[in-house]
């Protein structure tokens, strides 16, 4: 039964000593998206399997070998989402959001599921921050979403991350490219991996995305997609670059980027770092003008990106970015006798209503054990409720950092404690009311 105390391979528990980091990452990315006019969307964790087969693409690794697919109680085939775009596009169609002012811009934080070989930066359950824009085919939109990703990396102060850019054209120009690729790779049939031999038949462009070193080496000499772009795709790509130049966003054109998913057209891009090991792609995205139509809607141009939160966290740690500390326990109220635990819990409850992080005894501990516990919890103040405190409604709040004790009136404890907290935070000579300072503090909470 050992497996009962071991999470499935490729999943990770996020414990309190880490969860605050992800909360900070989620808040920062979500706030940035809002600045750019994206609204949050939430879609189900599972969808009809066919949505991903069509939306991600039959020839992709994701659909061919990575999906968590099962039959539900009613015998329908459902799949845990391997990415966020297909579900978002489905919701866009289902709710007629194409009737709203375009472009419709959405962001999300979601868990994704892929049956892959777990390693650093590669899990079976991972999390993405993603954005999608539906309804404009203009290159300005491609550039705007790239600038959002860049904006986020800048907000975190990250420096070791570069933008790689490519265009993979539209179905029209890609047909010639695929033909040229097939001819090229036919010459290396003996060396290509098993999977790539299959790709050679179905979708030779996928070979460019192969992670095997042998295939990657062969791919280096392959025809370049940029040489096959039609005039429209060429103009689009030039304009995307011009917008990026205008925003002083640096990039390198990397003709080997084709992205893992089938629905991409024209612009594709990745933000890559060398400081987090082999899985260095933190963010990947591009344009997918064919997807909405593929799902049965009227042709609607779109683009977006997905950012892996685990990889982003690894990168933040690698670059020594400091995460805002969680707020410490502000006060511990210790009933000296069991009969005072009612008053202790009432006072604690009142304090919490004013936003004070307050603890009291819920374990029927002795006073001594409570003080030990308060210490372990690093409480800033402690306050003991004994006979005289209950009788006189006056008690001493002890600052555990300085040892200083202040007498407080229990009938107006909230005011007294918020005053002491502000004093402890800003020193004696703070201008303005205690409450305005507290609001200020709250603003910093995440
Ligand atoms: P990779 O080439 O690393 O397999 P991908 O092309 O499959 O990535 P996308 O489908 O574009 O990745 O997903 C967007 C982002 O999600 C990736 O850039 C990465 O940061 C993250 N990601 C993808 N797969 C995983 C995974 N198995 N574990 C953790 N993060 C992942
Ligand atoms: Mg992958």
Specify the CATH number of the domain 331-445.
3.40.50.800
Q: Which residues, including other chains, have CB under 8 Å from residue 417's CB and lie 6 or more apart?
A: 330, 331, 351, 356, 381, 397, 408
Among 67, 284, 303, residue to substitute to test ligand 1 (most atoms within 8 Å of Cβ):
284
> Residue 92: what pLDDT?
98
> 175 C-alpha to center of ligand 2: Å?
24
Residue 381: C-alpha distances to residues 264, 384, 392, 408 (Å)? 57, 10, 20, 12
> 308 C-alpha to center of ligand 1: Å?
6
Q: Fold match between 10-170+230-318 and 331-445?
A: no
Q: Residue with the nearest Cα to atom 21 of ligand 1?
A: 308
- Nearest ligand for residue 259 CA: 1
> 269 C-alpha to center of ligand 1: Å?
13
> Residue 351: what pLDDT?
98
Q: Residue with the nearest Cα to atom 10 of ligand 1?
A: 260
Question: What is the maximum span of the chain, computed from C-alpha positions, in angstroms?
Answer: 93
What is the three-state SS of 343-373? HHHHHHHHHHHCCCCEEECCCCCCHHHHHHH
Among 260, 264, 278, 305, residue to substitute to test ligand 1 (most atoms within 8 Å of Cβ):
260
CATH topology of domain 10-170+230-318: BirA Bifunctional Protein; domain 2 (3.30.930)
Tokens 């879609």 locate to: 43
Q: Using CA atoms of 43, 48, 49, 52 in order, give the dihedral in degrees to the nearest 10.
A: -40
> Residue 1: what pLDDT?
67
Ligand 1 interacting residues, C-beta cut-off 6 A: 83, 114, 116, 121-123, 126, 128, 260-261, 279, 281-284, 306, 308, 310-311
User: How confident is the prediction along the chain (446 residues), in pLDDT tens digits per residue?
Assistant: 678 899 999 999 999 999 999 999 999 999 999 999 999 999 999 999 999 999 998 888 899 899 999 999 999 999 999 999 999 999 999 999 999 999 999 999 999 999 999 999 999 999 999 999 999 999 999 999 999 999 999 999 999 999 999 999 998 998 999 999 999 999 999 999 998 999 998 889 989 888 889 999 999 999 999 999 999 999 999 999 999 999 999 999 998 898 766 678 999 999 999 999 989 999 999 999 999 999 999 999 999 999 999 999 999 999 999 999 889 999 999 999 999 999 999 999 999 999 999 999 999 999 999 999 999 999 999 999 999 999 999 999 999 999 999 999 999 999 999 999 999 988 754 444 444 444 444 433 33
- pTM for this predicted structure: 0.91
Q: Residue with the nearest Cα to atom 26 of ligand 1?
A: 122
Q: Residue with the nearest Cα to atom 25 of ligand 1?
A: 122
Domains of the chain, by residue range, sit at 10-170+230-318, 331-445
For the CA of 83, the nearest atom of ligand 1: 10
Residue 345: C-alpha distances to residues 333, 383, 388, 432 (Å)? 8, 12, 18, 31
For the CA of 128, the nearest atom of ligand 1: 16
């Amino acid at each position: 039964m050992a497996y009962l105390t071991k999470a499935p391979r490729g999943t990770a528990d996020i414990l309190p000593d880490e969860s605050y980091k992800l909360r900070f990452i989620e808040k920062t990315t979500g706030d940035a998206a809002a600045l750019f006019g994206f609204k949050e969307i939430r879609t189900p964790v599972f969808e009809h399997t066919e949505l991903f087969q069509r939306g991600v693409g039959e020839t992709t690794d994701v659909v061919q070998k990575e999906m968590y697919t099962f039959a539900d109680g009613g015998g329908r085939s459902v799949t845990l989402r391997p990415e966020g775009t297909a579900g978002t596009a489905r919701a866009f169609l289902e709710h007629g959001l194409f009737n709203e002012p375009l472009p419709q811009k959405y962001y999300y934080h979601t868990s994704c599921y892929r049956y892959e070989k777990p390693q650093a930066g590669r899990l079976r359950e991972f999390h993405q921050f993603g954005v999608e824009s539906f309804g404009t085919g203009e290159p300005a939109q491609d550039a705007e979403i790239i600038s959002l990703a860049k904006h986020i990396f800048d907000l975190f102060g990250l420096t070791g991350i570069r933008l790689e850019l490519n265009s993979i054209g539209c179905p029209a120009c890609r047909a010639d490219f695929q033909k040229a690729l097939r001819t090229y790779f036919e010459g290396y049939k003996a060396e290509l991996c098993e999977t790539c031999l299959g790709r050679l038949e179905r979708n030779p462009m996928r070979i460019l995305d192969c992670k095997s070193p042998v295939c990657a080496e062969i791919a280096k000499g392959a025809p370049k997609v940029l040489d096959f772009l039609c005039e429209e795709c060429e103009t689009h790509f030039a304009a995307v670059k011009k917008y990026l130049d205008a925003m002083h966003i640096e990039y390198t054109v990397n003709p080997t980027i084709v992205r893992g998913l089938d629905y991409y057209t024209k612009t594709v891009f990745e933000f890559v770092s060398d400081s987090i090991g082999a899985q260095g792609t933190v963010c990947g995205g591009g344009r997918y003008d064919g997807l909405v139509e593929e799902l049965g809607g009227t042709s609607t141009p779109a683009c977006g990106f997905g950012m892996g939160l685990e990889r982003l966290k690894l990168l933040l740690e690698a670059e020594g970015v400091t995460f805002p500390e969680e707020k410490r326990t502000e006060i511990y109220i210790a009933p000296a006798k069991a009969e005072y635990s009612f008053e202790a819990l009432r006072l604690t409850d009142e304090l919490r209503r004013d936003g004070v992080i307050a603890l009291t005894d819920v374990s029927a501990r002795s006073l001594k054990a409570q003080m030990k516990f308060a210490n372990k919890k690093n409480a800033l103040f402690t306050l003991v409720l004994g006979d005289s405190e209950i009788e006189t409604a006056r008690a001493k709040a002890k600052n555990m950092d300085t040892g200083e004790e202040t007498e407080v009136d229990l009938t107006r404890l909230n005011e007294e404690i918020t005053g002491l907290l502000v004093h402890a935070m800003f020193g004696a000579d703070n201008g303005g009311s205690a409450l305005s300072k507290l609001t200020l503090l709250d603003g910093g909470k995440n």
